[in-house]
Amino acid sequence: MCKRKHKVTYDSSQGTGFVVHKADGTCCVFMLSTKGLLFSDVKGNTAHVLINTVDKNKSKYTGKQYSDAHKARLIQDIISRPSMMDYIKYVENDLIPNCPITKDDIVHAEDSVHAEDILGPNLGNLKGKTTQRTPKMLVLNTLDYLPNVMLKEHGDITIAIDVMYINKIPFMMTTS
């Protein structure tokens, strides 16, 4: 939970929402939406980095390294997207006829740069080899001890709860 790693405060009188105080002195505020979900507004806040782009990763390498990584990824896609370890074995053992790349194009031994670092993980590989697990659903029946006035006024209420991870910090998301 977030409170294990960071100090979390809440002041209902000011209506600012939950405030997560980080070790570097910055704060992240989570407010309630109109539907009751907590969210953090990151517009205009440059302290939040949510994604790495290929352009950002590409800027760390030479044009040739990027070109070689791109060529290596293209060939990996053509040969049915094997895992990185299998792909390296295929290239090392000359199992791909007329292959224009070498192991160094996939993995540069001198600085351990590879196509995955520049271009990110192979999405086709992830989509094809990742199985979807159906979560166990918990269904609760109507409680017998609720007053009839409350049931009459509010009717049936369904609450959905899920856990979302942001930077390995779990957040409980709910809606009713």
Q: 69: which 2 tokens?
A: 């990584």
User: Hey, is 62 helix, strand or coil?
Assistant: coil
Return the pLDDT at 112: 43
Confidence (pTM): 0.42
Structural contact between residues 38 and 29, judged by C-beta atoms closer than 8 angstroms = no
Q: For residue 11, give the amino acid letter.
A: D
Averaged over successive runs of 10 residues, the pLDDT of the chain (176 residues) comes to 78 75 81 78 59 66 78 85 84 88 66 61 72 73 66 74 87 87
Q: How far apart are CA 2 and CA 172, in angstroms?
A: 10
Return the pLDDT at 111: 43
Structural contact between residues 105 and 72, judged by C-beta atoms closer than 8 angstroms = yes
